[in-house]
Amino acid sequence: MQVVHGVRRGYRFVRGGLMMDEPDTALLVALAEYEFLRESSRTALEHGTSRFHFYMIVSSGAAAVATAVITAGHDLDDTATTILATLGVVVLILGASIFAKQTEYHTRLRRYSVAQNLVRTFLARRAPEVAPYLLLRTLDADGSPHMPHVPRTRLWIYDAASMTGVVGMINSLLTGGAVAALTWHSGGARWFVIASATTALALAVSGHVAYARVVVAAADRRIAEVIAERFPATAPQPSRGADTGMDRVTEVQQS
């Protein structure tokens, strides 16, 4: 019998009949896993983006109301002070929860990216002649499936420009403003108000950055432990100084 169309989905088309081949189960499972990871990455990214937009809408609305109350042309009475304090507390609590959720989404994206790179490693090993053309990371070519290391000199740019960083910065500014309002309302001197607000702002920024880096570093360690257990010859280490933002969209979309 002469083969006409080669192998398609586990079947070999031959002249005068149809012969079934053994399906490539390993390849089918790998492709299904890769597609699942790709969809999971897109879902996590969409959820993180929607939460960020919701937070920006709420914080912008609260800022508009606060501006209208302050510029109403009369002294701030107890009612206006209560309104401003309530808005500040609501936005701050919402911002803290959104920040924690954004950090969780970012760790998910890192896990999905590493998992995609491992599946890509399997596919590259199945077709070694194609491996040089795979620009994204693989375990064999790069020694680690983690994203490239971000230099510490530019790390703060990635942190501040990400959606997680923007939420953390707004939370920090709101914290500094709240401390300034409290010290001013209690009759503190101007220099004391400025010093208190600056200190609160610095502590809030440091707290947000520390929390995000601790969570990301813990996630990277868990990933490295799993990879070291399954691939003892390679044993890649988590990237040092990993960025804490969620906007590593390029690798997710390319995957």
Residues 205-247 pLDDT 10s: 989 988 988 998 898 888 888 888 887 765 444 444 444 443 4
Residue whose token pair is 């390679």: 234
What integer pLDDT is reported at residue 39 of this predicted model? Answer: 94
In sequence order, the β-bridge partners of residue 46 are none
Q: CA–CA separation, 189 vs 195, rounded Å?
A: 10
Q: Are 214 and 238 in contact (CB under 8 A)?
A: no
Grade residue 94 by pLDDT with cuts at 50, 70 and 90. very high
pLDDT in tens, 2-14: 434 444 444 444 4
Grade residue 255 by pLDDT with cuts at 50, 70 and 90. very low
- 15 contacts: CB under 8 Å, gap ≥ 6: 1, 2, 4
Q: Are 176 and 197 in contact (CB under 8 A)?
A: yes
Does any domain span residue 5? Answer: no
Does any domain span residue 11? Answer: no
Residue 89 has pLDDT above 50, yes or no: yes
Domain span including residue 235: 24-254
What integer pLDDT is reported at residue 43 of this predicted model? Answer: 93
Q: CA–CA separation, 11 vs 21, rounded Å?
A: 5
For residue 135, the SS3 value is coil
Does any domain span residue 237? Answer: yes
What integer pLDDT is reported at residue 55 of this predicted model? Answer: 93
Which secondary-structure segment (H or E) carries 73? none
Residue 125 has pLDDT above 70, yes or no: yes
pLDDT in tens, 24-45: 788 889 999 999 999 999 999 9
What integer pLDDT is reported at residue 156 of this predicted model? Answer: 56
Does any domain span residue 231? Answer: yes
What integer pLDDT is reported at residue 142 of this predicted model? Answer: 66
Which secondary-structure segment (H or E) carries 125? helix 78-126
Does any domain span residue 103? Answer: yes
Does any domain span residue 123? Answer: yes
Number of independent structural domains in the chain: 1
Q: CA–CA separation, 74 vs 46, rounded Å?
A: 44
Mean pLDDT of the chain: 77
Does any domain span residue 1? Answer: no
